[in-house]
Amino acid sequence: MSLRLIEGGRGHTDAPGLLIHGASQVVTMAGGLRRGAAQGDLAMLDAADVGGPGAPGAPVVACWEGKIVGVGPRDSVEAGLEAHGYSLSRFVRLDADGGVVTPGLVDPHTHLLFAGSRERELVLRQQGAGYMDILAAGGGILSTVAATRHADAETLAAHGRRWLDEMLRHGVTTIEAKSGYGLDLPTELRLLDVAYELGREGPIDIVPTFLGAHAVPAEFRSRPDGTEAYVRSVIEEQLPGVAAQGRARSCDVFCEEGVFTADQSRRILRAAAAYGLAIRLHADELAPSGGAELAAELGALSADHLHVPSDAGLAAMAASASGPTPTVATLLPATTWFLMTDEAAPARRFINAGVPVALGTDFNPGTSPAPNLPLVMTIACLEMKLSPAEALAAVTINAAFAAGVGAEAGSLEPGKLADVVIWRAADVGQLPYWVGADLVDVVVKRGRVVHRRGA
Ligand code: NIG
Ligand code: FE
């Protein structure tokens, strides 16, 4: 049975309210996108400042019909609720038991849906094979495409549920999910439809992204003009079909040396924007390929990977960062770790340049079979020197903006979705510190408890 609330309210006839109390710290992340010196601003309410988690002025989070209606000291939130006509008897109380309370995590970059797995590539890469060599030889993404084309919607949905469940247990309440393992219109549409339906099923909200330009499929590779012909087919056949289907909210391209050039990516993304899709890119993952520059030029929601951006690309993103809708740098450190790359993405350079930084898992079968977003925070702290607070902003408010849901998710503020995690830790600094540990006690999605430790 799905616990998901539709449009706030359904299923709340007995107790439409939820009051989360007893927290040591409530990290609100209120105040919008984080950049520069504010990247690590948690907007935190600390019970230690007011006499401890049980004190009258200790921080609480009040939710009503799936949305947040109050965050702040318990005495004033309760008084405010009553003053606005809410009956406190209609709030179920949830004791955080001295734990930290944060917004539900947002994973802004996943390749959730695919068939098969590629554990043999790990061994090949340990023996020295390059990621792009494996792809050029018809393996890598292309082997997942071959398996995915044979998978029906029910098989893909079952796979999706298995990994969504894993993500939920790690505190994730919203994800972006890309297609990109079909590379033909019927399979791409199937992937987008399954992503959309899984989001409706809940509890995790899903933002589907069309990634038809993930690689050039085998049937085009044999042609001398294969890449160009495939780009035309993405623009002229796939995009119109995707737009007519209406499931995708954004369009992504693997803009990378040896995959799609910046010029080809620009053509695809401009066509996508004309259909009203938001824009994001796999940019400068393996070589500087003009991806960061293109993201800034097109006003992309997010530029992702950015492991080796050019100086000009970084400067272009920095220039766009002072505007009202900056492109978010979504960094994916589990990928560089799993690819055994020596250098990490230049996260501190982005932060110093005022570019908002988000973190994602990049969950996929080739470069990041990692559904654990808190572990990604840990890797970001160790490899990219993000502070724990910067990493937490990167998987909440900044990730929500990167996913295109900044107005409804990513922070604990009145009017936003009641997506909340209670952690078994008394200080927020512990979240990335206990490496690989399962610290999630309770996950609340749209005002309902959807995961409880041991349940
Ligand atoms: O983000 N780099 C492109 N796409 C994925 C990997 C996909 C795969 O290897 O299956 C990524 O790393
Ligand atoms: Fe990716």
Under CATH, domain 2-103+413-452 is a member of which superfamily?
A: Urease, subunit C, domain 1 (2.30.40.10)
Cα(319)–Cα(399) distance, rounded to whole angstroms?
Answer: 20
pLDDT of residue 454: 86
> Does residue 54 have a pLDDT over 60?
yes
Which of 282, 306, 376 best tests ligand 1's pocket when mutated (most atoms within 8 Å of CB)?
282
Which of 183, 367, 376 best tests ligand 1's pocket when mutated (most atoms within 8 Å of CB)?
367
pLDDT of residue 10: 37
pLDDT of residue 137: 87
pLDDT of residue 193: 98
- Tell me the average pLDDT across 424-437: 98
Average pLDDT, the chain: 95
> Does residue 6 have a pLDDT over 80?
no
Residue whose entry in the numeric block shows the structure tokens 């259909």: 275
72 forms bridges with which residues in the sheet?
A: 60
pLDDT per residue as tens digits for the range 164-190: 999 999 999 999 999 999 999 999 999
Cα(410)–Cα(258) distance, rounded to whole angstroms?
Answer: 35
- Tell me the average pLDDT across 148-173: 98
Residue 26 CA to ligand 1 center (angstroms) comes to 35
Ligand 1 neighbourhood includes 144 CB (under 6 angstroms): yes
Secondary structure of residue 261 in the 3-state scheme: coil
pLDDT per residue as tens digits for the range 305-325: 999 999 999 999 999 998 888
Residue 5 CA to ligand 2 center (angstroms) comes to 30
Cα(160)–Cα(178) distance, rounded to whole angstroms?
Answer: 12
> Does residue 270 have a pLDDT over 80?
yes
pLDDT of residue 374: 98
Question: Which residue owns the Cα nearest ligand 1 atom 1?
Answer: 362
pLDDT of residue 11: 43
> Does residue 406 have a pLDDT over 60?
yes
Confidence of residue 418 (pLDDT cuts 50, 70, 90): very high
pLDDT per residue as tens digits for the range 203-222: 999 999 999 999 999 999 99
CB atoms within 10 A of CB 137: 12
Cα(428)–Cα(448) distance, rounded to whole angstroms?
Answer: 23
Ligand 1 neighbourhood includes 140 CB (under 6 angstroms): yes
Relative to beta strand 59-64, strand 100-103 is unpaired
CATH number at 105-403: 3.20.20.140
pLDDT of residue 7: 36
| Residue type (1 letter), 132 | M
Ligand 1 neighbourhood includes 362 CB (under 6 angstroms): yes
Ligand 1 neighbourhood includes 365 CB (under 6 angstroms): yes
H-helix or E-strand containing 68? strand 67-73
151 forms bridges with which residues in the sheet?
A: none
pLDDT per residue as tens digits for the range 376-388: 999 999 999 999 9
H-helix or E-strand containing 390? helix 388-394
Question: Which residue owns the Cα nearest ligand 1 atom 3?
Answer: 254
- Tell me the average pLDDT across 49-71: 98
Residue 364 CA to ligand 1 center (angstroms) comes to 7
Residue 13 makes CB contacts below 8 A (sequence gap 6+) with none
- Tell me the average pLDDT across 16-30: 98
pLDDT of residue 337: 97
Ligand 1 neighbourhood includes 284 CB (under 6 angstroms): no
Complete DSSP assignment for 162-203: HHHHHHHHTTEEEEEEE--S--SHHHHHHHHHHHHHHHHH-S
Q: b/e string for 38-71 if b means 16 or more Cβ within 10 A?
A: bbbbbbbbbbeebeebeeebbbbbbbbbbbbbbb
Which numbered atom of ligand 1 lies nearest the CA of 305?
1
Residue 144 CA to ligand 2 center (angstroms) comes to 14
Domains 2-103+413-452 and 105-403 share a fold: no
pLDDT per residue as tens digits for the range 94-135: 999 999 999 999 999 999 999 999 999 999 999 999 999 999
What ligand is nearest to the CA atom of residue 215?
1
Diameter over CA atoms, the chain: 73
Ligand 1 neighbourhood includes 360 CB (under 6 angstroms): no
Ligand 1 neighbourhood includes 404 CB (under 6 angstroms): no
Cα(370)–Cα(31) distance, rounded to whole angstroms?
Answer: 30
pLDDT of residue 246: 98
Q: Kindly state the percentage of the chain with pLDDT values over 90.
A: 93
pLDDT of residue 14: 59
Which of 282, 364, 368 best tests ligand 1's pocket when mutated (most atoms within 8 Å of CB)?
364
Sorted by where each begins, the domain ranges of the chain are 2-103+413-452, 105-403
Ligand 1 neighbourhood includes 282 CB (under 6 angstroms): yes
What ligand is nearest to the CA atom of residue 144?
1
Give 429: exposed, middle or buried? Use CB within 10 Å, 0-12, 13-18, 19+: middle
Q: b/e string for 208-247 if b means 16 or more Cβ within 10 A?
A: bbbbbbbbbbeebeeeeeebeebbebbbeebbeebbebeb
Residue 362 CA to ligand 2 center (angstroms) comes to 5
